[in-house]
Amino acid sequence: MATLVDTSVWSLALRRTVPNETSPAHVQRLQALLEDASAVMIGPVRQELLSGISRQAQFAKLRDRLAILPDEVILPEDYVTAAMFWNLCRQHGIQGSHIDFLICAVAVRNKWPILTTDADFTLYAPYLPIDLDQTSD
């Protein structure tokens, strides 16, 4: 099953220097998704991953590694849904980033679970119809 992978998991996997057998469960899950061609990437996650890399060679290396994954389509309705999700969570005193809510909107429309280490998503879950990949470390 396709799974939308959040920036937090990609960052953990791409910055990890320990051998695979000692990798956290989220990194192992990502590896399995990549092997099955089930990992989903969206443009805003790609942007977050590439932002802040000051060395051009390092930027190019990461850009090229991520190039194997196409960006899934984000529809205009996803932005509207993301705004609705933001408003709904805000009404319940929960704040989050616009990209988080866009991830939620795209995942909901496509019926994809979200793989993340970001605890904010567990705060959104009671109010949004999201499915979180239950991988645990």
> Hey, where are the domains in the chain?
1-137
Give the mean model confidence (pLDDT) for residues 104-119. 97
Question: How far apart, in Å, do the first and last CA atoms of the chain sit?
Answer: 21
Spell out the residues 6+ positions from residue 6 whose beta carbon is closer than 8 angstroms to its own. Answer: 45, 103, 114, 115, 116, 117, 118, 121
The pLDDT of residue 22 is: 52
Q: What separation in angstroms does the CA of 133 have from each of 31, 67, 94?
A: 14, 24, 21
Confidence of residue 102 (pLDDT cuts 50, 70, 90): very high
pLDDT, tens digit, for every residue of 60-99? 999 999 999 999 999 999 999 999 999 999 999 999 999 9
Percent of all residues in the chain with a pLDDT value above 70, rounded to a whole number: 93
Domain 1-137 class, CATH top level: alpha beta
Q: What are phi and psi of 119, to 5 degrees?
A: -65, -20
pTM (predicted TM-score): 0.92
CA distance 48 to 74: 16
